Amino acid sequence: MKLRRRQFLHLAAGAAALPAISRTARAQAYPARPMTMIVPYAAGGPTDTIARIMAERMRTSLGQVVLVENVTGAAGTIGVGRVARAAPDGYTISIGHWGTHVVNGAIYEFPYHVFNDFEPVSLIASNPQLIVSRKDLPANNLQEMIAWLKANSVKATQGTAGHGSASHVSGVYLQSITGASFQFVPYRGAGPAMQDLVAGQIDIMIDQAANSLPQLRAGTIKGYAVTDKVRLAAAPELPTVDEAGLPGLHILLWHALWMPKRTPTEIIDKLNAAVVDALADANVRTRLAELGQDIPPREQQNPQALAAYHKAEIEKWWPILKAANIKGE
Ligand code: MLT
């Protein structure tokens, strides 16, 4: 059957539009099944805790379960890499932070780019780090802790969430501004490191508030300072590093959500709306505040604000990190 030219062109146009139509149809039907949020660190740590609080509430807005899967190793690069390679269909979400999406890009070689290979969804919250030690470390303030480190430099240890993780970078920073030296003990996340700190197997951590605060409140570890210019509302008794005599050790860890590059805008918008809903939820806000999390204002809870902040953080920290010559393993 010989098609007239116009009929043929008409059919061809229709066929060409099919992917766009199915893409839009898919985006409109999204989400049609459960999604997976990849946590690049061990269960029980700060990123896992924040992921589970968000996933639980986002389910209400999305009408589908958001499963949390821990894919650990190499300071988070393995879990984030899983999302970089995932289909841009809206069903694989990356939760990450300053460590995974800024620091790692400066110190690790891996087959994805921490900015270019992801679609930003939204910032979630930020928290300073806490300088903490095992309960029986013989020091009552930050200066005594630094003196103890210097007096025990051969055996002193700092637990980290992996080589090149935010906690490791902060440790290198602490060494460079105090002259103290100590060994780094890498774990698959801050959660398992904290278990060993509570057990007295390691001496200190420079750790996210979300991970240390519950232990600090339980009296199972000691706290010395927060790595910020202002005190933490959730732990007003802890001095800032400036007040404790270590000016300038300011490290803020911010968490955010991303999706694989080329995920349709309609899908990003739906997921962003679910994040905004969750961050407006009173119960979520209370739980995040108890974990020392500072939620960004509403006007910063959008993909464009995350992209701008992420880019600025890369431009600020990459020169510093590269100059420090910290290499990922
Ligand atoms: C974790 O969840 O273990 C942390 O985000 C790791 C880190 O602090 O870099």
The pLDDT mean for the chain works out to 93
Residue with CA closest to ligand 1 atom 5: 47
The angle, 0 to 180 degrees and rounded to 10, between the axes of the packed helices 190-198 and 209-218 is: 20
**Percent of the chain with pLDDT strictly greater than 70:** 92
Are 253 and 98 spatial neighbours (Cβ–Cβ below 8 Å)? yes
Q: What is the pLDDT of residues 70-123, one digit of tens each?
A: 999 999 999 999 999 999 999 999 999 999 999 999 998 889 999 999 999 999
Distances (CA, A) of 100 to 51, 54, 85, 95, 227: 14, 18, 16, 9, 19
Provide φ and ψ at 131, rounded to 5°: -90, 115
* Distance between Cα 179 and ligand 1 center (Å): 25
pLDDT tens profile 270-281: 999 999 999 999
104 lines ligand 1 (CB under 6 A): no
pTM over 0.75: yes
Q: Is the pLDDT of residue 4 over 70?
A: no
| Tokens 């690069």 -> residue | 77
Question: Is the minimum distance from the CB of 170 to ligand 1 under 6 angstroms?
Answer: no
190 lines ligand 1 (CB under 6 A): yes
Cβ–ligand 1 contact at 165 (below 6 Å): yes
Q: How many CB atoms lie within 10 A of CB 171?
A: 22
Amino acid 132: pLDDT? 98
User: What is the DSSP annotation of 158-195?
Assistant: EEESSTTSHHHHHHHHHHHHH----EEEE-SSHHHHHH
- Give SS3 for 223: strand
**How confident is the model over 193-242, as pLDDT tens digits?**
999 999 999 999 999 999 999 999 999 999 999 999 999 999 999 999 99
- As a whole number of angstroms, the distance between CA 139 and CA 145 comes to 5
Distances (CA, A) of 223 to 137, 184, 210: 11, 19, 13
Question: Residue 41 C-alpha to ligand 1 middle, in angstroms?
Answer: 6
Enclosing H/E stretch for 285: helix 282-290
